[in-house]
Amino acid sequence: MEPISKRTQRDYSLAFKLAVVEQVEKGEMTYRQATSLSTKIQNAR
């Protein structure tokens, strides 16, 4: 089993990052939810 490497900002597309920022700014998602989302994506890979 390969060790899981921590993802960095460079691992996410600009479109994904902008979409998350937009949702946080609109109040549709909190900062905590956004960081949780990135963790879920990391664990899915």
pLDDT tens-place string over residues 1-45: 566 666 677 778 899 889 999 999 999 999 899 888 877 776 776
Domain boundaries, the chain: 12-44
Q: What is the model's pLDDT at position 37?
A: 81
Distance CA 18, CA 20 (A): 5
Distance CA 15, CA 19 (A): 6
Q: What is the model's pLDDT at position 35?
A: 85
